[in-house]
Amino acid sequence: MENWPPVNINSATHPVGNATRNAARTSAMNPTSNEARNAAGNTASTNRSSSQEVTCDPQSQSNSYYLHINENPALELVSFPLDGSNYHAWARAMTMALSCKNKVAFINGIIKKPPQDDLERYYVWERCNNIVCAWIVRTLSPTIGRSVLWIDTAYGIWDDLKRRFSQQDLFRVAEIMCEIYQTKQGNESLNEYFTKQKLLWDLYLYQ
């Protein structure tokens, strides 16, 4: 029986061989092509990062640097103070309140402290940052408030509180689980009983 002739992918008539040779020839003749592609990728990444920076426009009501005339350091954005054990509920309520004020960018790191040689932007940032710091400190217990008083950025205060209080407390988790199992409907309506159980389960899930 006659053997099949070997397949030569480098044959001039084979399209795959041609494509492979052309790619190799192009790469050899243009060694900077890979570098150009890498540079383009790095530029795109840089553009994406810089696009997250918030522009400074304190006159626009949709801008994070805008402060309404009624906004002052004495506002209490959350009705209950952070005492350490209620961090997750406090952080959720505080985030919603700051979102309504369009100031979340000051606590999540998107807005960073500008250089002091950019005086106009720096003074606008300083005013907004101090307002947010004051709002946060007013919602803390006196002891916790004193512990973050000398942190000079809202992001720094927020990050410090998160690192200290967001970790799971095993004793607190066990306490909540016992309360869930011991809670009875009794004389309460079904809605009241369900609401109490939902609150306990939410506390358990977000510990």
The two structure tokens encoding residue 137: 């400190």
If asked whether residues 81 and 138 sit together in one domain, one would say yes
If asked whether residues 86 and 141 sit together in one domain, one would say yes
Looking at the chain, list the stretches that DSSP marks H as alpha helix, in order from N- to C-terminal side.
15-29, 33-51, 87-100, 119-138, 142-147, 154-165, 170-182, 190-205
Task: Decide if 78 is inside a domain.
Answer: yes
If asked whether residues 96 and 190 sit together in one domain, one would say no
If asked whether residues 133 and 40 sit together in one domain, one would say no
If asked whether residues 102 and 137 sit together in one domain, one would say yes
Note the pLDDT tens digit of each residue in 112-135: 999 988 888 999 999 999 999 999
- Cβ proximity of 9 and 20 under 8 Å: yes
- Cβ proximity of 53 and 113 under 8 Å: no
Task: Decide if 1 is inside a domain.
Answer: no
If asked whether residues 76 and 157 sit together in one domain, one would say yes
Least confident of 61-70, 96-105, 174-183: 174-183
pLDDT over threshold 80, residue 45? no
Residue-level pLDDT at 207: 57
Task: Decide if 3 is inside a domain.
Answer: no
If asked whether residues 158 and 128 sit together in one domain, one would say yes
pLDDT over threshold 80, residue 170? no
CA angle 115, 47, 111 (to 5 degrees): 35
- Residues of the domain holding 110: 55-167
Query: Phi and psi for 174 in degrees, rounded to 5?
Result: -65, -40
If asked whether residues 59 and 19 sit together in one domain, one would say no
In angstroms, the Cα distances linking 192 to 83, 185, 188, 196, 197 are 26, 8, 6, 6, 9
Domain count of the fold of the chain: 3
Task: Decide if 4 is inside a domain.
Answer: no
Task: Decide if 8 is inside a domain.
Answer: no
Average model confidence (pLDDT) for the chain? 77
If asked whether residues 84 and 32 sit together in one domain, one would say no
- Cβ proximity of 81 and 141 under 8 Å: yes
